[in-house]
Amino acid sequence: MAHQKIVPIELKLQTRLFSPDDLKRFHLAALEIMEEVGVSMPSHKALDILAGAGATVDRQKMVAKLPRSLVEKALKAAPKRYTLGARDPGNSLDLDGKHSYLSTDGCGIETYDLWTGERRLSTKQDIEDSARLADSLPQIAFYWGPMVSAQDVPAKTRPLHELQAAFTGTAKHVQPETIITEEIAKYAVDMAAVVAGGYEELRRRPLLSVMQCAMDPLGQDGGSLEASLVAAEHGLPTGFMPMPMSCATGPATLAGNLVVTTIDALAPLVLMQTAYPGSPFFFAAAPTAIDLRLGSYTGGGPEDYLLAAGFQEICAYYGIPLSMGTMATGAKVPDWQAAVDNVFSTLASVLTTVAMMTGAGMLNGSKIMSFQQIVMDCEIYEIARRFAAGIEVNDETLAVKVIKEVGIGGNYLAHKHTRAHMREIWRPTVVDRSPLQVWEDSGRAGAFEKATEIARRTLKDYQTEPLAPEVQRELDEIIRKAEKTIRD
């Protein structure tokens, strides 16, 4: 099967939620709270850096109060535009505010087996397989996560095994969310450097970036901060993902939730830009509201879509690229609910020009991976891509001459103009448009069956550009070394 280049969304259609005054108020609210209450950063390294730059630090509570001037200086230092590299140089991502890219979703704990349909614990092989499927799909621009946890390898080196499986499965950009200690981060950078062909090459073309979860409200994880400092030292882009849940870890009101989201994405920017001014940094987020009966994480709902759209506007105000939790339905199987969740969520991100959308292929609130869902989410992306491109208006597209020629009651089927432009019309890959009889005769094969076929065929036939054998050997070697040195 052929390798195809990734297809970003070119953003023409746009919506707006907030006035310039609204945006200013979010900013001022975040500044006020960061200065008065501060943020928890339980890492002496992080606190040293911030104290050195004028933050008021409480070592007992591990809290840093960030003065407004420090925040604004950091915001100025952060680059507004940069590129995420990839093992395949033709597939790098331009984070320029004009393109939207989709990744896989990540960190699931179970897999719907592609061959038996059974739900089972996830494995290292699932990561390589899902990465290979992602590599084959032009809609997937980078591999985030990893999609699932490699539960068949030792916990202490698991993130490194996962990274190896991801690098093996795809030549696209990789962005893990599991590099959460300094020790693991050093090994991960070593692995990325081996794949890139050296540390300098890695810095020039970062094929790895690192995302962390924030500890809402108003906090970060110490290990994650230290891991990100290691990554930034080597020029790898870093970002932090708050996911305040309205009523639980965030205020019930959506505007209040966005204040918490802003602080928990912005406070780490202050740290990273103070430590490494100009280092590539992105915001990330997955804000949501709890289910009022169960308190549970929902994986969809109007609040999620509004929060996504709203936070992108806040990020655009700062001029910092955003990676937004997108799709990731709460549905347990790829059904109507999955489609509703993922369509709304994709539109919310796309119509507000989110740079990175994480991502395709997971069910049950990012807990179960489905290969079919990856393929079907790519179709949603394709429809959104076409939608976001809008309608071009010029002499050729207005077609006045053609309309006159065909005249009253004629048809356009065989017209030259039709043949010149018909390929601009979207064609489905898994959406079913077959005639009723054909559909019945096929055993009622719909999108799911088509997606199953595509995924199975790909995993049988598709070859990712392989890593050189000596690179694979070096990756093995690094993991072996980590196995020996990292404490249980």
Partner 1 sequence: MSDKGALLEKLKGIVIDGIIEDSEGATKEALGQGVEPLEIVEKGLVPGIEEAGARFSRGDYFLPELVASAEAMQTAMAVLDPLLRAKQEARKTLGHVLLGTVEGDIHSIGKNIVGALLQAAGFVVTDLGANVAVGTFVAKARELRPNIIGMSALLTTTMVKQQQTIEALAKEGLRSGLKVMVGGAPVTGDWAKKIGADDFAEDAVAAVAVAKRLVGA
We find the least distance from the C-beta atom of residue 297 to partner 1, in angstroms, to be 8
- Candidate list 52, 117, 295, 302; residue touching partner 1; CB under 8 A: 295
Integer Cα distance of 252 and 12 in angstroms? 33
Residue whose CB is less far from partner 1, 34 or 245: 245
Near partner 1 by CB under 8 A, which window of 129-137, 288-296, 370-378, 454-462?
288-296
State which H helix or E strand residue 476 sits in.
helix 469-485
Q: Which does 28 bind (CB under 5 to 8 A by kind): ligand B12, partner 1, none?
A: none
* Contacts to ligand B12 from residues 364-383, by CB under 6 A: 365-367
Residue 245 binds partner 1 (CB under 8 A): yes
Residue 262 binds ligand B12 (CB under 6 A): no
Q: Where are the alpha helices (DSSP H) in 240-301?
A: 254-275
We find the least distance from the C-beta atom of residue 88 to ligand B12, in angstroms, to be 26
- Candidate list 4, 14, 125, 296; residue touching partner 1; CB under 8 A: 296
The structure tokens listed for 77 are 């230092």
367 closest CA partner among 122, 76, 115, 191: 122
Binding track over 156-185 against partner 1, x by CB under 8 A: --x---------------------------
Binding track over 432-471 against ligand B12, x by CB under 6 A: ----------------------------------------
Integer Cα distance of 218 and 301 in angstroms? 24
- Candidate list 55, 86, 254, 290; residue touching partner 1; CB under 8 A: 290
Near ligand B12 by CB under 6 A, which window of 8-16, 209-217, 375-383, 454-462?
209-217
Integer Cα distance of 283 and 268 in angstroms? 9
DSSP summary character for residue 155:
G
Strand order through the sheet with 39-40: 39-40, 63-65, 56-58
- Residue 330 — φ and ψ, nearest 5°? -85, -5
- Candidate list 36, 116, 118, 294; residue touching ligand B12; CB under 6 A: 294
Burial of 383 (C-beta count, 10 Å sphere; 0-12/13-18/19+): middle
Residue 252 binds partner 1 (CB under 8 A): yes
The dihedral formed by the CA atoms of 140, 143, 147 and 153, expressed in degrees to the nearest 10: 150
3-class SS of residue 369: strand
We find the least distance from the C-beta atom of residue 292 to partner 1, in angstroms, to be 4
Near ligand B12 by CB under 6 A, which window of 1-9, 84-92, 255-263, 288-296?
288-296
Residue whose CB is less far from partner 1, 109 or 406: 109
CA 53 and chain centroid, separation? 31
Q: Which does 93 bind (CB under 5 to 8 A by kind): partner 1, ligand B12, none?
A: none
We find the least distance from the C-beta atom of residue 177 to ligand B12, in angstroms, to be 4
Residue 212 binds ligand B12 (CB under 6 A): yes
Q: Give the DSSP per-residue string, 56-120.
A: EEETTTTEEE--HHHHHHHHHHS-S-EEE--SSGGG-EEESSSEEEEEE---BSEEE-TTT--EE
Bridge partner residues of 103 (DSSP): 142, 358
The structure tokens listed for 78 are 């952060």
Taking a C-beta distance cutoff of 8 angstroms, is the pair 180, 212 a contact? yes
The structure tokens listed for 476 are 């093995």
Residue whose CB is less far from partner 1, 85 or 365: 365
Integer Cα distance of 27 and 21 in angstroms? 10
Residue whose CB is less far from partner 1, 161 or 205: 161
87 closest CA partner among 125, 41, 143: 143
We find the least distance from the C-beta atom of residue 202 to partner 1, in angstroms, to be 27
Q: Which does 155 bind (CB under 5 to 8 A by kind): ligand B12, partner 1, none?
A: partner 1
Number of amino acids touching partner 1 (CB under 8 A): 19
Q: Which does 420 bind (CB under 5 to 8 A by kind): partner 1, ligand B12, none?
A: none
Taking a C-beta distance cutoff of 8 angstroms, is the pair 341, 366 a contact? no
3-class SS of residue 385: helix
Taking a C-beta distance cutoff of 8 angstroms, is the pair 11, 350 a contact? yes
Near ligand B12 by CB under 6 A, which window of 106-114, 195-203, 335-343, 441-449?
106-114
Binding track over 161-200 against ligand B12, x by CB under 6 A: ----------------xx-x--------------------
Near partner 1 by CB under 8 A, which window of 4-12, 68-76, 149-157, 399-407?
149-157
We find the least distance from the C-beta atom of residue 330 to ligand B12, in angstroms, to be 8
Taking a C-beta distance cutoff of 8 angstroms, is the pair 41, 225 a contact? yes
We find the least distance from the C-beta atom of residue 279 to ligand B12, in angstroms, to be 19
Q: How far is CA 43 from CA 50, 203, 270, 271, in A?
A: 11, 25, 15, 11
* Contacts to ligand B12 from residues 46-85, by CB under 6 A: none
Number of amino acids touching ligand B12 (CB under 6 A): 25
The structure tokens listed for 131 are 């990465």
Contacts with ligand B12, residue ranges (CB under 6 A): 106-109, 149, 177-178, 180, 212-216, 221, 224, 243, 245, 249, 294-297, 365-367
Contacts with partner 1, residue ranges (CB under 8 A): 109, 149, 151, 155, 158, 215, 221, 245, 247-249, 252, 290, 292-296, 367
